[in-house]
Structure 1
Amino acid sequence: MHVRVYRDGISGVLAVALALGIAELVAGLSGAVAPVIAVGDLLIDHAPGWTTHLVIDILGKKDKPALVLTVTLVTLAAGGAAGILERSRPPAGRTVLALVGIAGAITAAVDTPAASFQGTLLAAAGPLAGVFVGWQALRLLLRAGTPGPATATAEAQPMTRRVPDRRAFLGFAAATAGASAASFAVGRRISGGAVDVEAQRESVALPGTAPTPVPGAIALDGLSPLITPNPDFYRIDTTLITPRVDLKTWRLRVTGMVERPLTITFDELMAMPAREEIITLSCVSNEVGGDLVGNARWLGTSLADLLTQAGVKPGATQIVGRSVDNFTVGFPTEVAFDGRPALVAYGMNGEALPGPHGFPARLVVPGLYGYVSATKWLTEIELTTWEAFDAYWIPRGWSKRAPIKTQSRIDVPREGRTVKPGHVPVAGVAWAGNRSVSAVEVRVRRRDGDADAPWLRARLSDSLSTNAWRQWVVEWDAEPGDYVIEVRATDGRGDVQTGQAQRPDPDGATGWHRVNVRVRA
């Protein structure tokens, strides 16, 4: 009995795995979103704000892979239940499969950007086709695992019930598993190769602008570089799969409260006057001392110039950025015209934007956290009023106004390190949005006292711009003992970084970064 239940459960799991593989294949062929990704997107978009905070706190940057894995496992578990139910309570199993297919079809249709009824049908076709094929596979697997009719080898012998054909079952199971893996692999390869982002990036000839000079940096092992290399630049977004945008069909629209709505091709965007700016971006989820911050050279066209070309109507108090996957940000219109170099950027550190960072174009706005300003894979800029629209993260409990707070971080020495007595460099980076950093101070105190230890003025690297972070370093004459090292920064307006600790939500973390260090001979 137990063996049969296990076998039926395995049959259901394999059938649903095949259904997912077929759905992935159809999605790849049609350009739609695969159902697992669609369900994941749905959960991301509609999960309560507190669950988002909790998941990020627990899993950090691994939250999206964990979500995809969870959706997949739950779907496979539903398949296992369908296999068991179809044996014991038909047609309950096929009903479960049908519900899984309908749910997948609806979410895929909703999640796939489609301008036509045909596009919606194509999105729904994958899950429905997958469930149909999966149901046929389940029938075959259950039949192979079903005992045959009673037989007798001689008149004098009692009737005996034939055991299930294990060889046939294992053969069907192996074939189903192989077909599942092949369908998934081919579908993923087709969808990944539909638009070759890397080939498109290599074909982009960035405008010839004079490189922004980068003054001498502080050279020290473990210290963050002045310019963050593209592979090391943090990535935070809501998409489970990086959008692959085709330059041939990509358009940037400027809509809403403007005199002259614009539709711009990538070549037309590149033909506009270009400027390069060194700007530090920071995620609002960054904890004190965290690494969700980076500094890069951004190349693009002035957002203010683009909006001037469109003609902003009076009363337009909010700029909304919209991505190809319908993610939105929103910030005050005045930000684009207050002198800060907000950009529609297409270059990053001397090359076309990497795919994960928004290729072909994105918004870069100094002084604002990314969740209200940094639209990647940009496709629309809409002018509206402040009251008329709340961008993606606002209904989820985050503040609508989000200037970057002054922060500083200790890179050297790391938390818990043991160093030798003598001259020990203490170094890191500090940033303050678009207000520049004018000073950094470090305090070293013994763990069991020295509450009134003095603050030491750090040496700063040269300023790259008012919108960029600065490196800092202090030479500490370390003596044996256990110590706490703290850092605080002062922005260009003379405001000192607060030591009051606050979580990232709803508008950015505050507090001084501290590390514990042991000095031993």
Structure 2
Amino acid sequence: MESYRGVPAWAAALVGLVTGAVAIGVSWLVAGVVKASAFPVLTVGNAVVDLSPSWLKEWAIGTFGEADKAVLLSGVSVVLAAFAVGIGILAFRDLRYGHAGLVVLGVIGLAASLTRPEAGLPDVFPVLAGVGAGMVALSRLVRRSVAAGSGAPRPRPGADSETADTPAASRSEDEAALHPASGQDGVIVTAPPIMRAGDDLHSFDRRGLLTGLLGGVVAAGAAGAVGRLLSGGAEVDQARVGLALPSPATAAKPVPAGSDLKIRGLSPFFTPNADFYRVDTAIIVPKVEPGSWTLKIHGMVDRPIELTFADLMRRPMVEADVTLCCVSNEVGGPYIGNARWLGARLADILREAGVHKDADMLLSTSADGWTCGTPADVVMDGRDALLAIAMNGEALPVDHGFPARQVVPGLYGYVSATKWVTEIKVTRFDRDEAYWTPRGWSAEGPIKTQSRIDLPKSGATVPAGRTTVAGVAWAQHKGIDAVEVRIDRGPWRQARLAEAPTADTWRQWVIDDWEATAGEHTIEVRATDATGYTQTSEQAPVAPDGATGWHAIRVNVA
């Protein structure tokens, strides 16, 4: 057994951390060469998401919002760091223990990688390379941390060497290490710590440790930086910025002048791309180059189709204003936004493929393996269901699906809005399941009629007198016909509605003559859609098919 037990705990911890950094950096480098999505930290994070129960995911979204993925990655990093510290400490007890710890991490990484839907042989290489690099780094750092030596006590400066050595000379080397020797005048002379490696004696080498750690940090940083470059992020960003969008063959209807009330604090009619909500399972956003992107349409079709991005760009383009909403949106929540999309009609492509009459589901798959089940009849019923390439006049942001994504009006995103879409399998609901269905969510998710108060903000203090109450309401592909507001459970009042170019967008509303009096007040809102349905007051959670209830806020009037 090769043991170095006299190294300080802080030194062993640093050795473990740098070993972990080298392993991660090298695995990132290899992932950049063979397959960017095979980066082990990413695959482990994705596995954590997949294995987490629905209630935990909803708690994370509700608690951390769009920062949930950053929180998850931070948690994974903390766990990895703690594991690395443990590996460092074990390695100084026996190097084989440290190597075994790295093997355990490798097994976890392989399990996470090979259980992904898109897993293949390339997913193995980053894990194996990281474990191998970690073993080499750990061995070298451990050995650089110690220096061979007799362990004999060193005389203090100026003391007579013969006298100083005398007390230790009559004791064994181990005793001299464990007990301080007394020199002239009773001065204590401390021996350096002694460690055993086999039958040899070693002492802690601080300089060797620090130079080894520095070299490890440089190697880890360089490998990680090259891996990031090889992962294609820069090329994808450049391709996106340089993309020339085709002109629409069918332009969106002009937005009526009264569609945006332009009230400060009220959600604008079009949500800026930078402010558009993002809820998905991607721990690290897929970076897909347009030149390598393809869409495969297969399954219950007469003629399977495979489109390149160039093929897609040559198709007739349609502009459509569509509001998207996440099923995780609580009553009054922020996970909704409206944009002008540009893309090819998905129904036209499916007709070319020849969808079988008994097919009722489109199982789409994103570049990171996430799946979505969309009702086929909804896509084919004439609405503006698009394979979109642009959002608000620019190429899709990478966070929102570049180079191509699905946009289907009237359905929650978990059954319609596949980003980074690469495959559509035409199938049936009784044969296939998408990602969320076995986790307790409904197979079909039509958006529920809802409304939200944007101002005043909940909990705000407002001055007495005339006060504006405003917000948005939505019932995609049905349209909003009326919005009502009441104060302190009094009578319902009709709000003034902004114009809406289509039934597929949200609609602003306002009451600008509320005479607010001093005290605390409760404001509630409800909407009625074009079918005559008025949203229910019954409170229901987001699972399994979207929240219900009236949005209510409390304000203080001073």
TM-score range, shorter chain: over 0.9
> Could you tell me how far 1:393 is from its partner in structure 2?
0.6
2:252–2:321: 8 Å Cα contact kept in structure 1?
no
Aligned residue in 1 for 2:377: 334
Give the secondary structure class of the aligned counterpart of 1:368.
Answer: coil
> Could you tell me how far 1:106 is from its partner in structure 2?
4.6
Say if 1:402 and 1:488 are closer, same or farther in 2 by CA, change over 3 A: same
Which amino acid in structure 2 is aligned with residue 325 of structure 1? Answer: D
Matched, 1:22 2:65: no
| 1:361-376 pair list within 5 angstroms | 361-376=404-419
Q: How many angstroms apart in 1 are the aligned matches of 2:74 and 2:550?
A: 36
Among candidates 431, 434, 438, match of residue 388 of structure 1: 431
> Could you tell me how far 1:45 is from its partner in structure 2?
1.8
Say if 1:78 and 1:49 are closer, same or farther in 2 by CA, change over 3 A: same
2:324–2:336: 8 Å Cα contact kept in structure 1?
yes
2:248–2:318: 8 Å Cα contact kept in structure 1?
no
Deviations 1:365-421 (A, max 9, x none): 111100011111111221111200110111111111211011111111111111112
1:436–1:491: 8 Å Cα contact kept in structure 2?
yes
Q: How many angstroms apart in 1 are the aligned matches of 2:308 and 2:96?
A: 54
Aligned residue in 1 for 2:205: 165
Aligned residue in 2 for 1:212: 253
Instruction: Give the alignment's Cα RMSD to 1 decimal.
Output: 2.1
Matched, 1:77 2:74: no
The alignment of Structure 1 onto Structure 2 pairs a total of residues equal to 509
Say if 1:212 and 1:352 are closer, same or farther in 2 by CA, change over 3 A: farther
> Could you tell me how far 1:189 is from its partner in structure 2?
3.1
Which amino acid in structure 2 is aligned with residue 396 of structure 1? Answer: R
Among candidates 434, 455, 464, match of residue 501 of structure 2: 464
Aligned residue in 2 for 1:64: 69
TM (normalized to structure 1)? 0.92
| 1:183-332 pair list within 5 angstroms | 183-193=223-233, 195-209=235-249, 210-216=251-257, 217-332=260-375
Q: How many angstroms apart in 2 are the aligned matches of 1:396 and 1:467?
A: 29
Matched, 1:357 2:397: no
Deviations 1:37-79 (A, max 9, x none): 1111111122222322232233222221111122222122222
Which amino acid in structure 1 is aligned with residue 395 of structure 2? Answer: A
Among candidates 541, 546, 555, match of residue 503 of structure 1: 541
Aligned residue in 2 for 1:177: 217
2:472–2:508: 8 Å Cα contact kept in structure 1?
yes
Matched, 1:50 2:67: no
Give the secondary structure class of the aligned counterpart of 2:46.
Answer: helix
Q: How many angstroms apart in 2 are the aligned matches of 1:256 and 1:289?
A: 39
Q: How many angstroms apart in 1 are the aligned matches of 2:254 and 2:370?
A: 34
Q: How many angstroms apart in 1 are the aligned matches of 2:65 and 2:240?
A: 31
Unaligned runs of 5+ in 1: 446-450
Which amino acid in structure 2 is aligned with residue 13 of structure 1? Answer: L
Aligned residue in 1 for 2:141: 141
1:317–1:332: 8 Å Cα contact kept in structure 2?
yes
Give the secondary structure class of the aligned counterpart of 1:150.
Answer: coil
Runs of 4+ in 1 over 4 A off after TM superposition: 109-114, 152-156
Which amino acid in structure 2 is aligned with residue 422 of structure 1? Answer: G
Give the secondary structure class of the aligned counterpart of 1:248.
Answer: helix
Aligned residue in 2 for 1:10: 14
> Could you tell me how far 1:110 is from its partner in structure 2?
5.0
> Could you tell me how far 1:151 is from its partner in structure 2?
3.0
2:246–2:317: 8 Å Cα contact kept in structure 1?
no
> Could you tell me how far 1:273 is from its partner in structure 2?
2.4
Which amino acid in structure 2 is aligned with residue 417 of structure 1? Answer: A
1:105–1:125: 8 Å Cα contact kept in structure 2?
no
Q: How many angstroms apart in 2 are the aligned matches of 1:491 and 1:282?
A: 16
Which amino acid in structure 2 is aligned with residue 283 of structure 1? Answer: C
Which amino acid in structure 1 is aligned with residue 239 of structure 2? Answer: A
Aligned residue in 1 for 2:519: 481
| 1:69-148 pair list within 5 angstroms | 69-108=74-113, 110-111=115-116, 113=118, 120=121, 122-146=122-146, 148=149
Unaligned runs of 5+ in 2: 155-160, 178-191, 194-203
> Could you tell me how far 1:34 is from its partner in structure 2?
1.2
Aligned residue in 2 for 1:448: none
> Could you tell me how far 1:2 is from its partner in structure 2?
8.8
TM (normalized to structure 2)? 0.86
Q: How many angstroms apart in 2 are the aligned matches of 1:3 and 1:437?
A: 71
Say if 1:211 and 1:341 are closer, same or farther in 2 by CA, change over 3 A: closer
1:280–1:294: 8 Å Cα contact kept in structure 2?
yes
Which amino acid in structure 2 is aligned with residue 215 of structure 1? Answer: P
Out of 38-47 and 361-370, give the one that drifted further.
38-47
Deviations 1:454-493 (A, max 9, x none): 1110000111211110000002122222111111100111
Out of 403-412 and 200-209, give the one that drifted further.
200-209
Give the secondary structure class of the aligned counterpart of 1:29.
Answer: helix
2:315–2:344: 8 Å Cα contact kept in structure 1?
yes
Give the secondary structure class of the aligned counterpart of 1:124.
Answer: helix
Out of 228-237 and 147-156, give the one that drifted further.
147-156
Which amino acid in structure 1 is aligned with residue 346 of structure 2? Answer: L
Deviations 1:280-328 (A, max 9, x none): 1100001111110011111112222221111111211111112122211
Which amino acid in structure 2 is aligned with residue 306 of structure 1? Answer: I
Q: How many angstroms apart in 1 are the aligned matches of 2:395 and 2:326?
A: 22
1:419–1:518: 8 Å Cα contact kept in structure 2?
yes
1:25–1:188: 8 Å Cα contact kept in structure 2?
yes
Say if 1:408 and 1:198 are closer, same or farther in 2 by CA, change over 3 A: farther
